[in-house]
Amino acid sequence: MTMSVYCRCGKIVVLDRAEMVLKLKLDKELECMECRNSRIDREIDEMNNHYLGISEEDVFSERSGPFKLYVKITQISILVLPYRDSL
């Protein structure tokens, strides 16, 4: 048996009843595919930033220190450090 619910964005989400009950028991939101993908993108970016040592404030600034620059190109996070010639 399928059930229709509204996502927080207003789209109708059609879910199997068992799937819906399981998600609610796990305190998960019932969300459309687009909202789910956006949430996963945010979580991946947050995890990458955490392991790269980039704070939340640094994400919104162009420069986070004397040599650190955070650049976001679509889904890729790049940490740019200066090149030091050891010659």
Residues 55 and 86 placed together within one structural domain of the fold: yes
The answer to the question of residue 53 being in a domain is yes
Q: How many residues does the chain have?
A: 87
Question: In terms of residue numbers, what domain contains 76?
Answer: 44-87
Q: pLDDT tens digits, residue range 11-44? A: 999 989 998 889 889 998 889 999 999 999 999 9
For Cα atoms 77, 40, 43, give the angle at the middle one, nearest 5 degrees.
60
The answer to the question of residue 37 being in a domain is no
H/E stretch holding 58: helix 56-59
Q: pLDDT tens digits, residue range 40-81? A: 999 998 888 888 887 766 665 544 444 444 444 445 555 566
Give 31's contacts (C-beta < 8 A, 6+ positions apart).
Answer: 7, 8, 13, 39
Encoded tokens for 79: 């940490």
With 0.85 as the threshold, say if the pTM is over it.
Answer: no
Q: Looking at the 3D structure of the chain, how many domains does it have?
A: 2
